[in-house]
């Protein structure tokens, strides 16, 4: 199992002003870790085992008191929204908070999960980007330790800027953009004085809700003041995150958008989301997309016949049923009884005789030739 994917730290749009020389102290701080939300067919025992291991690992890695967020609803706990994560901290009277989800990322019959989370510092309005790690239910402590290390890195970060005789003045169009110098928030354009820093090279980032973040590198010289003016570019839109059971092809407003799970950028408004898979009826739902938000759509496909046998399409594998090549991802017109499934991969051919029941939905495992009943989603 690989380590957690670590991303840079970000700032919340409503972050408070942080002076340049601020040193963060974690003395008497607390971190709220509510039970994560779930996505897909997640075993509740596996979720409980991970949460117990993760809370223990966070406490050991950070030295902070870990609160379980008992008053936090699953929807907020699994939102992965920095502003809602700050709400978790406020409700739980903690400085830090974690919002996360445990997601099923395998087809039916698999056991593979992923954990996605963000961490926020409600005191100064800091947040991580999305952090992800694979999760083996048989070894929850491994993923818990990887993710706890990232939480500890975030909570122990020291934010400071060296002071000196080199001046920096930042302005923007439009104004009121939050300014970060080497990751430290120093205020908003239109309200800033000249920042006096040590000579050297700095990264300046401007953020404003509704606009693309802009990054500039500046070289500050001794006894001189540099002026930086940035014109921000407006953005508009959000995204639709589509999952289905089983996986299928996605179209947004009639335009193909890959296979589930898929996250598709979309303009604000009502969009038509269609999920299709051979052997199942197409499912169409409507998604209300908002600016800068992820709208989640979960679809359970309905079999098109009382008896359906399907498989995960792979280009390198040809599937024959009773000697007939099946061009799609399901056995067309299959009848109950003893059937021969022939799987051809390269120059290798494997044959399996399988008793097909009178009705039901079954996934043909291309590795073993087994017919696996499709269990209903939880």
Q: Contact at 8 Å (CB) between 7 and 130?
A: yes
Q: Between 145 and 71, whose confidence is greater? A: 145
Output the six-digit token pair for 247.
């996986």
Q: Which of 378, 328, 323, 329 is nearest to 349 (CA)?
A: 323
Q: How far apart are CA 328 and CA 308, in angstroms?
A: 13
Which residue is associated with the tokens 């699994």?
78
* Cα atoms in the Cβ-side hemisphere of radius 13 Å centred on 195: 31
- Taking the C-alpha atoms of residue 348 and residue 196, their distance in angstroms, rounded to an integer, is 71
pLDDT of residue 12 exceeding 70, the answer is no
CA–CA dist 320, 12 (Å, integer)? 55
The CATH topology of domain 166-231 is Immunoglobulin-like (2.60.40)
Check whether 267 has a pLDDT greater than 90.
no
The pLDDT confidence band at residue 16, using thresholds 50, 70 and 90, is very low
DSSP class per residue in 187-229:
EETTS---EEE-SEEEEEEEE-TTB--EEEEEEE-TT-EEEEE
With a cut of 80, say whether residue 24 has pLDDT above it. Answer: no
User: In the predicted model, what is the mean pLDDT of residues 272-285?
Assistant: 94
Give helix then strand counts, H and E, for the chain: 4, 31
Cβ pair 13, 178 in contact under 8 A: yes
Contact 286, 299 (CB under 8 A): no
Identify the CATH assignment for 9-155 out of 3.20.20.100, 3.30.390.30, 3.40.50.300, 3.40.50.10070.
3.40.50.10070
- Whether the per-residue pLDDT at 7 is higher than 60: the answer is no
Long-range contacts for 261-265 (Cβ within 8 Å, ≥24 apart)?
A: 261/105, 263/239, 263/294, 264/239, 264/240, 265/237, 265/238, 265/239
CA distance 114 to 5: 11
59: confidence class by pLDDT, cuts 50, 70, 90 = very high
Q: pLDDT tier at 3 (50, 70, 90 boundaries)? A: low
- pLDDT for 244 beyond 90: yes
Structure confidence by residue, pLDDT tens digits, 214-237: 999 999 999 999 999 999 987 777
Tens-digit pLDDT profile for residues 29-38: 799 999 999 9
Residue 272, CA distances (Å) to 245, 254, 342 in order: 18, 8, 38
Plot region of 329 (φ>0 → left; ψ -120 to 50 → alpha; else → beta)? alpha
Domain boundaries, the chain: 9-155, 166-231, 238-302, 307-373
321 CB-side CA count, 13 A: 24
On the question of a common fold for 166-231 and 238-302, the answer reads yes
**Distance between CA atoms of residues 154 and 144, nearest Å:** 15
- Tell which wins on pLDDT, 123 or 134: 134
Q: Which residue has the tokens 């407003």?
A: 253
pLDDT band at 158 (very low <50, low <70, confident <90, very high): low
CATH superfamily of the domain spanning 238-302: Carboxypeptidase-like, regulatory domain (2.60.40.1120)
- How do residues 84-118 score in pLDDT, each as one tens digit? 999 999 888 898 999 999 998 865 445 589 999 99
Query: What pTM did the predictor assign?
Result: 0.43
């Amino acid at each position: 199992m690989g380590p957690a994917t670590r991303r840079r730290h970000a700032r919340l749009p409503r972050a408070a002003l942080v002076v340049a020389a601020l040193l963060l102290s974690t003395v008497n701080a607390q971190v709220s870790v509510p039970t994560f939300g779930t996505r897909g067919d997640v075993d509740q025992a596996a979720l409980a085992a991970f949460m117990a291991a993760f809370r223990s690992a966070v406490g050991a890695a950070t030295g902070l008191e870990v609160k379980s967020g008992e008053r936090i609803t699953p929807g907020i706990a699994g939102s992965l929204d920095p502003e809602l994560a700050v709400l978790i901290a406020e409700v739980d009277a903690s400085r830090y908070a974690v919002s996360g989800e445990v997601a099923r990322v395998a087809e039916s019959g698999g056991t593979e999960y992923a954990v996605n989370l963000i961490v926020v510092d409600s005191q100064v309005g800091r947040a991580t980007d999305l952090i992800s790690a694979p999760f083996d239910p048989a070894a929850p402590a491994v993923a818990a330790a990887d993710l706890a290390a990232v939480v500890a890195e975030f909570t122990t970060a020291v934010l400071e800027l060296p002071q000196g005789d080199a001046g920096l003045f930042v302005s923007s169009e439009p104004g009121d953009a939050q300014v970060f110098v080497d990751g430290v928030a120093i205020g908003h354009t239109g309200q800033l004085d000249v920042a006096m820093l040590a000579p050297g090279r700095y990264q300046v980032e401007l953020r404003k809700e509704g606009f693309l973040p802009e990054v500039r590198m500046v070289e500050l010289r001794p006894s001189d003041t540099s002026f930086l003016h940035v014109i921000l570019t407006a953005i508009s839109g959000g995204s639709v995150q589509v999952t289905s059971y089983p996986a299928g092809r996605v179209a947004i407003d009639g335009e193909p958008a890959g296979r589930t799970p898929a996250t598709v950028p979309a303009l604000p408004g009502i969009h038509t989301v269609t999920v299709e898979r051979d052997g199942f009826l197409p499912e169409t739902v409507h998604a209300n997309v908002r600016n800068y938000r992820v709208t989640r759509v979960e679809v359970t496909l309905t079999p098109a016949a009382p008896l359906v046998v399907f498989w995960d399409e792979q280009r390198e594998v040809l599937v024959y049923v009773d000697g007939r090549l099946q061009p799609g991802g399901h056995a067309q017109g299959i009848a109950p009884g003893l059937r021969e499934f022939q799987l051809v991969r390269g120059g290798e051919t494997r044959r399996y005789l399988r008793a097909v029941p009178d009705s039901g939905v079954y996934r043909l495992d291309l590795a073993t030739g087994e017919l696996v009943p499709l269990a209903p989603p939880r």
